Amino acid sequence: MTLAAFPGAQLPGQPFSLCPLRPLRIALAGYGHVGQALAERLATDERYEIASILVRDVNRSRAVAPPCAPTADRDAFASPRADVLVDALSCHRTGTTLALEWLARGAHVVSASKRAISTDYEALAGAARSGAVELRYSAAVGGAAPVLETVAAAKRSGTVESVTAILNGTVNFILDRLSRGANFQAALAEARLAGFAEESPIEDLSGADAAAKLRLIAIEAYGAGVARLTVQAEALDAEVAARIAGSGERWIQVARLARDGGVIEASVSLLQASKVTELPALPDEWNGASVRTVEGRVLRCLGRGAGGGPTAEALLADLGRIRSLGIR
């Protein structure tokens, strides 16, 4: 192979010059709160280019003007050449299907969908290995709180013994408002208005969202063999919220993962904050995690855990990691 095969290389007799990498081309699936927040952050960043956008309704009014014409046609969405698929969809089934298709064609995938990754982890990870491409999903857990990165750092320093975390920003926001005197419906309405809760927030309130995130934490801590880990989850509904509000205490939704020998236990519970020593009662939509190793080391992280902005920041971090690998 000659020197000319490398972009930006200096050839004999030529003056020295730097040839910057071309932009990383992105196919963005989903243009809701998260997709728009990502587009807004990338608008002035020459390192990235949004090449196509997939939506359900091309005529829907959006606060952030799309950088290219959105399409509801998946063939049209895949037509422009892109280096990476970013999954910011609300439907995890569509996200999984798209991710498998793009991985198979040799594109990287960055996902914010904990349901897609946790439900079909084995298939997605296998497709990424087969295509020799990256599957990144930091944005699926913790928002701006680097939870998976903190678990990975703990694993590098020893053996992860336990993780205690606040993983659902919507529920934390509601519990915070209950402690301030709001009733359940008012707190939920405020969470929707702030862009933290979906119109149908069943995944958040049932504990399923936090449970899916806890499975991803378990995979990071203990490997792919725990991808189908059973997580016991306690739901938050109007009746439970009334009891919490009547207690006069601040409550939090606590996700716990613990390993004792070969046994791994995982749960999502509503607890009085005063009974949780590993983490403080974080305000509003904040997330956080405390990771303890068998050797006694404790690593912690905190950050905003819901909404378009924090999730977009996590997506951008993963895109930066992919860009650092070089663009083929």
- Host domain of residue 257: 147-305
Query: Does residue 162 sit in the same domain as residue 259?
Result: yes
Query: Does residue 109 sit in the same domain as residue 152?
Result: no
pLDDT of residue 20: 53
> Per residue in 71-125, pLDDT tens?
999 999 999 999 999 999 989 999 999 999 999 999 999 999 999 999 999 999 9
Tell me how many domains the chain contains: 2
Residues (pLDDT < 50) of the chain are 1-19
Residue 113 lies in a domain: yes
Query: Does residue 166 sit in the same domain as residue 276?
Result: yes
**According to DSSP H, which parts of 52-141 are helical?**
74-78, 92-104, 114-119, 121-131
Query: Does residue 154 sit in the same domain as residue 291?
Result: yes
* Adjacent-strand bridge partners of 160: 293
Q: CA–CA separation, 234 vs 266, rounded Å?
A: 12
Residue 229 lies in a domain: yes
**pTM for the whole structure:** 0.89
Q: CA–CA separation, 259 vs 243, rounded Å?
A: 32
Q: What are the DSSP E strand ranges found in 105-230?
A: 108-111, 135-136, 160-166
* Adjacent-strand bridge partners of 253: 270
Residue 15 lies in a domain: no
267: domain CATH number? 3.30.360.10
46: domain CATH number? 3.40.50.720
Query: Does residue 156 sit in the same domain as residue 32?
Result: no
